[in-house]
Amino acid sequence: MASAVPWSNARMPYHHTRRYAGKIKAVIFDWAGTVLDCGVFAPALTFVEIFKREGVTITDEEARGPMGTHKRVHIQKVLELSSVRSRWAESHGKPPTDDDVERMYQNFVPLQCEVLKNHSQMIEGVVETVNHLRTDRALKIGSCTGFTSPIMADLKVIAASNGFVPDFIATADLVPQARPCPHMVWLNAIKIDVHPIEAIIKVDDTVDGIREGLAAGCWTVGVAKTGNYMAASEKQMAEMDRAEYDRRLQHAYDVLAECGSHYVIDSVKDLPPVIDDINRRMASGDRP
């Protein structure tokens, strides 16, 4: 029997540093608040209405809190708020149950499809920017959303009619766990055939959407002005008192910066210079 080689005579393991120094290859966009439905009104209004049908009033802020998550999880998280649980108990005489969550989610889906018909307008500059990224920069365009497949079945047709057709759409029901877990980003990477993960940018207007990108290992860009935390349509922003506009926009920037976004921008149309900067940083050895 051969004797073991003494450690002093064994070769030490080699250590290689492998660092991607190429350019961005793909961008994965969120949907509501990022590419369409400025202010994220469709889901917010639907959540308020679903709770109203249960005899419980919730505020716009309470409805928006968990935005970006799977919609069933979203309902559950709203019900976990002490203020909402108190109102629920007052109305129903007992705390909410998992059966209540399931019933509300089943009611949410068809109502959301109806509400989206009036809140699915593309955000100004998105189609032109995406076309530039795809045509002039040869980037692949992925997407993911807290919406599920039945909801996206209608929404993707509306978006396509307005010129937005991503290479892939990952919905919350296609993965074991949706946001803030990284699975939808990874599924995009597989389906659009892009690697390494550092060559991808995740663009989103919610905290959980940014955390999803960070967990996946890619670059993240928060969208403040058109998203969930500004919570205003383009018309409302145009008519808003300047002090209120500045306060709300700063709040949106702060929320997205504090959750770890690598960059925060007003809207998707501001993305090209960010891509240039990321390409410069990666060429110098930076990683997400």
Q: What is the 3-state secondary structure (H, E, C) of the chain?
A: CCCCCCHHHCCCCCCCCCCCCCCCCEEEECCECCCECCCCHHHHHHHHHHHHHCCCCCCHHHHHCCCCCCHHHHHHHHHCCHHHHHHHHHHHCCCCCHHHHHHHHHHHHHHHHHHHCCCCCECCCHHHHHHHHHHCCCCEEEEECCCCHHHHHHHHHHHHHCCCCCCCCECHHHCCCCCCCCHHHHHHHHHCCCCCHHHEEEEECCHHHHHHHHHHCCEEEEECCCCCCCCCCHHHHHHCCHHHHHHHHHHHHHHHHHCCCCEEECCHHHHHHHHHHHHHHHHCCCCC
**Active-site option among 71, 140, 156, 225:** 71
Cα–Cα distance measured from residue 10 to residue 29, given in angstroms and rounded to the nearest whole number: 50
**Active-site option among 25, 30, 202, 204:** 30
Contact 114, 122 (CB under 8 A): no
Residue 202 vs residues 113, 237, 254, 287: alpha-carbon distances, Å:
25, 25, 18, 14
Cα–Cα distance measured from residue 112 to residue 116, given in angstroms and rounded to the nearest whole number: 6
Q: Is 30 a catalytic residue?
A: yes
Q: Is 204 a catalytic residue?
A: no
Q: Which residues are catalytic?
A: 30, 71
